[in-house]
Structure 1
């Protein structure tokens, strides 16, 4: 929002002409210390390019990009000219909002001003204002945006009752942050009003944070005692801001477009609600202007729209769903369209197709500005050609010289390299027979689904099957298929239409997550390439028959799942992070892997010998005989240790001087509890219960959850089970529980925050865990807790359920994943029964590095002394209150970290089932005093690298 002070406003100014007014504006910025005198030339140059007049008597002079070097600090000066000035484009200006911006801050100011201009009489108010406060009040009023977008739709609800649909729609508005619980309560019991065509409406005004319109539709239309039901709208009303939503709804009903609304995909529903009828001609185009749809290109667009024979409307595909007149400058500016977003033009009547085509072409042409295409992604390139060849050849790693990468999966191996180079996929962009192309695509989709189902049946790792199941769900996504079919209907080939749909979905995923969900987008493209290969009749190259180390740019989850573990000795990728799906699957399959090694590894020759160290994150090409001999000796020693550890896997883990450390298993699937016990796990230290939810097309009910959790309790035979309550949001969205857009989902509504917004879901899960446990030990912990308040809120629900179920052996704890939680551990330890430290997230939040970031993930090391100090604080606080502490992150299985964690006083380590015997063996090699010495040594180091170096030396 525009922030102004009284010092920023000058009233009662006079000027002979617009140049004199601009001189005064420039002088005001110089006097305020915002710019140097040269900035004046930039203001004049901007007006020479295009008028900065907005409308309603307001102009917003600002410099050219070249003049930014004269800006000392970003700021605004507002000059009022009550008598008005004749502007050079013939307009009459009463207010200059003169901007000095060091980058593109003026665009945000501009967008706010377009909302200001929408208010009736604002020009007269500003021209006649007699105080700075009046001007500030008029310009600084925050715009209220009414929502009706994908985040407010709740489609395919398994309901047979209008009231249930009404409640689902209200709950969706609460999830979207538009209303609070009091609004939902006001809707409960409210009889929906009939709108006709099987549509109904409920509404409320209490607890409204932002006006919004939600729609809940049933899986199938049904008839109840009142009539046909195909959907229930829920309106959050606030002042006059919701009237636009009512007008959109009224227009939908008046056109008769609501009849089959429940049968449409989300994108088409939003199109109908935006005012696009089923008969409308539409055109989509991606905006390529560097600074988005700001004043100059918007003015060009408006001029093209006004020249058309029919009225054209435009909406932002990624926006709130409102379509506005393309002939209104203020409305077009108000869209706030940015580079890379998609504009949707619509029109009806004779000449509509030509009109929307003309506007789309104008946008493609840059609207008077030079534009450059969006940078093509590697995935796009892989679909068309094998890879983007660098401008300059990249040199392969030097022989016998260690190359540092990101450790992804532990292990040490030596084998010849097999460098995977993707085949070229050539296809025609256009096709004449749309029906034939749709049939080809459907056959490819069916074939890809069969391939994935076969892979799921072959896999034994829970994580592998889960992720490949997600890929199968993606193949069945009707929106993807419909988007591809729509492109084919416009003349695209099956290949081009499918890749266009995949790319659009992947780009949307990346944009919503601000790059934090890039791995999810990689999954989409992995699915897309599978189908594309079938369409093109191209198969992936066959690997050699003898053992090898696979080297690739990056690998999709299905690529890893296809690997023959009898032949693959290791994985090396140029890109990717340690928490990407491919890295997770490599760990699950027991394959040594390093990722993020850089493009140099792609210059390796197939057949060159490689050493891969998945623990230290090192790759050595063409090792010397001496290094090879040392590595072979290490491999032999590790094999001896592995066999010895396996033989003693069922024994307790005690240090040489008798100190006991529990070693448990992390599980993502209850079916693998028996395997964990067989490998020596003394319990389950982390059950990721979200996989129970992700494995079902809708939220699992109480009976389903009891059955799932009961399987794990049965296999554990009295050993403790530590279950993390539902942890979705961030990088783990649920298809049936869509979340509103968040710029930083890892810092948003996830974990305990999310389940507290859906207390009925949390209560059902707690009831299922306690019921399934019965007399067996269960430890329940809340994820992403930031302080005692969130823990108490969850505990209140737990206490209520436990009072009814009365499970015999229960503890309630907290996951330490947020630095604030570690720092406040003394207060939490007084009320929580235990702590479990999730070092993956704790490291990410402490170091402010996304652990999946392709460039930075190598620096996201949980052995960083700052993370170790937070662990120390947590352990000290817990032990002071007689509580126990576990570590369930990747750090627990790091050979360098095990002695440090034991020395810090950690009571339990929970690791992947495969690592249980080796971690037990590592503990048995220690003494407690020595472990404490190593912990103190680590805490004294300045960096993670220094910690590792110090521990290696000793």
Structure 2
């Protein structure tokens, strides 16, 4: 097996991922092995081998849950690292996969029609009951040019298209990160890895050198990959062909100068397609699309994940028979049961409408109360705010019940530009945010660049461990040319709006606070702005441990649970082996939150949380029980978090929190939370 003199090591490992070795764990493994000092290969039971640095080769192995795969390397250390990574699940939830939703669909029916009706059974992908007209959506086809430039011209055109596609996908990833969920953001991160596949790039350039133009060459290579994945005998992995098609479409659009496809309809419709790419789904507007039904796909497809995140009912894997339903036909979609009913009678339509209204009435209870103040069952007020970065997103957040903006990430002013935003640009944005808030509090976080957020044009030195390097307030101290203009812009707005709050990120020492506050006070006095609330983020364990000293001086604390968790547990939240263990409900993290809350209460200050734990329905209960009085969450989660807290008294949540503090790990806490309903 090894023809060189080097010794080869190998070890078997079982694939633990309930959905098999699909795109996201493959992406994480590919990233991991690129940092190792030796190649590592995987070999399936049929003897097919894949280089772990190559996404398509990994997916082509068709590794299902429970498959035994052999890890092979000339480095014992690299082999051990990969075996442990695979065994850990590479960030996947290793809870047993749920059964086929169609098997127990009868108990999940949202509507039971009487009499004969055409019914197509598929797989439930996103819950809901809707009635509407069908509109067929066809896959994108490309008219390929026959003209061919020189090899240099075609290669350059291909490189430009790759860059344009990367920028488009990165923009979608950032939008998902800001407005949706980590799952959705990871989907587009996986797409970036697919785009960066070195073999696909090399194969395309080879065809170009053989006389093909860039468009024909790339389409031929990508279509081959799509066909290979579609043929894999594993539904979850075969579904990744849609992801490759999505990436292909971005590149082809750039090569051919085509704008991304948009949906234009006069009235909301039910979209019917053979399949939808994640980008197609993300571009759908809820006001235009009632539901999605597809012939292919599965409940774990990336489009299904995005549909669930948008609250859009979806049924997948219905088969090609649905493609024969005439445009304009009336459908009833039961997203819970995975059923599609075609052309109901008048009586059936009335019955379905009644069922829909009954369901909506139940859901509307939470929606109707979204504008009420967040509070526990016994009336303890809990401010439920939203994480919002852009002024144009504020009205929607307020309409969803947000009581303020608990986190405005100002680094997006930098990430979305190719040059440093000057004082005037920043002031315009902060002023628009403050005005849009209608008097509700706006908490602006000063620049937090570094770690996982890089800005090439700032010319920052590369750091081997950026999360422990020059980031947050440390960067602001090193770069007053960035920090002072931002403080000036904020203070200029604070002269005219009394809802401005400011907080400094990555405070690790009391002297950090003193220095930052002194710089702010100098700027504020120079501009003539009034005193306004200023706080610090608790992201570093030292800040929590110094909370009693800080609480004497700050106006509030805002806990960033994402960073606090990774620094407390010494687990990189981006690490493929450790990310799924970096849980903010770990008792060690809860202990630091408890220390912070007690110090704040002692000095009559308040504590908020703007990290991911705030929007976690279970974790939110613990946070309130520990003394947190403000939760800043993604805007669509505001009503849900308010509804959860209304079910419990403060004393009940305090008792729950104390029980969690006494446990030994995050898994035990999650079990406690699961039993608490």
TM-score by length of 2: 0.60
Find the aligned partners of 2:574 and 2:304 in 1 and give their Cα distance: 11
- 1:949 maps onto 2:652 in alignment: no
- 1:784 maps onto 2:537 in alignment: no
Task: Give the conservation status (yes or no) of the 8 Å contact 2:394–2:436.
Answer: yes
Give the match's secondary structure for 2:457.
Answer: coil
- 1:769 maps onto 2:441 in alignment: no
Match in the other structure for 2:290: 566
Query: Which protein, 1 or 2, shows the higher relative CO under an 8 Å CA cutoff with sep ≥ 6?
Result: 2
Match in the other structure for 1:862: 584
1:487 Cα deviation after fit: 8.7
2:60 to 388, 411, 415: 388
Match in the other structure for 2:394: 673
Match in the other structure for 1:812: 534
Change (3 A) 1:483 1:724: farther
- 1:695 maps onto 2:419 in alignment: no
Change (3 A) 1:439 1:835: closer
1:375 to 52, 55, 58: 52
Change (3 A) 1:806 1:720: farther
1:673 Cα deviation after fit: 1.8
Task: Give the conservation status (yes or no) of the 8 Å contact 2:50–2:57.
Answer: no
1:646 to 367, 370, 391: 367
Match in the other structure for 1:748: 469
Match in the other structure for 2:612: 890
Task: Give the conservation status (yes or no) of the 8 Å contact 1:903–1:929.
Answer: yes
Find the aligned partners of 1:935 and 1:691 in 2 and give their Cα distance: 35
Match in the other structure for 2:657: 935
Match in the other structure for 2:226: none
1:818 Cα deviation after fit: 2.0
Find the aligned partners of 1:549 and 1:809 in 2 and give their Cα distance: 57
Task: Give the conservation status (yes or no) of the 8 Å contact 2:366–2:643.
Answer: yes
1:923 to 645, 654, 663: 645
1:674 Cα deviation after fit: 2.4
1:530 to 250, 259, 267: 250
Find the aligned partners of 1:376 and 1:492 in 2 and give their Cα distance: 29
1:848-899 CA distances to partner (integer Å, 9 max, x unpaired)? 4443455543333322222222211110111122211001122212222232
Change (3 A) 1:526 1:765: farther
Match in the other structure for 1:312: none
Equivalent runs, 1:87-106 vs 2, <5 Å:
none
Match in the other structure for 1:437: 154
Find the aligned partners of 1:495 and 1:677 in 2 and give their Cα distance: 45
Find the aligned partners of 2:308 and 2:554 in 1 and give their Cα distance: 32
- 1:904 maps onto 2:626 in alignment: yes
Find the aligned partners of 1:723 and 1:588 in 2 and give their Cα distance: 26
Task: Give the conservation status (yes or no) of the 8 Å contact 2:535–2:554.
Answer: yes
Find the aligned partners of 1:837 and 1:676 in 2 and give their Cα distance: 21
1:811-844 CA distances to partner (integer Å, 9 max, x unpaired)? 2211112222222222222332211011122223
TM-score by length of 1: 0.44
Match in the other structure for 1:830: 552
1:636-683 CA distances to partner (integer Å, 9 max, x unpaired)? 998545412322332222333331111211112122222222322221
Find the aligned partners of 1:662 and 1:875 in 2 and give their Cα distance: 15
- 1:682 maps onto 2:403 in alignment: yes
1:460-500 CA distances to partner (integer Å, 9 max, x unpaired)? 99748x999x99xx9xxxxx9x999999997786369989x
Q: CA RMSD in A?
A: 5.9
Give the match's secondary structure for 2:448.
Answer: coil
Give the match's secondary structure for 1:815.
Answer: strand
Task: Give the conservation status (yes or no) of the 8 Å contact 1:777–1:809.
Answer: no
1:929 Cα deviation after fit: 1.4
1:132-167 CA distances to partner (integer Å, 9 max, x unpaired)? xxxxxxxxxxxxxxxxxxxxxxxxxxxxxxxxxxxx
1:731 Cα deviation after fit: 1.8
Find the aligned partners of 1:393 and 1:828 in 2 and give their Cα distance: 50
Find the aligned partners of 1:724 and 1:524 in 2 and give their Cα distance: 37
Give the match's secondary structure for 2:636.
Answer: helix
2:440 to 681, 697, 719: 719
Gaps of 5+ in 1: 1-48, 50-63, 68-290, 293-317, 319-336, 341-371, 403-409, 416-421, 475-479, 503-522, 594-601, 609-618, 624-633
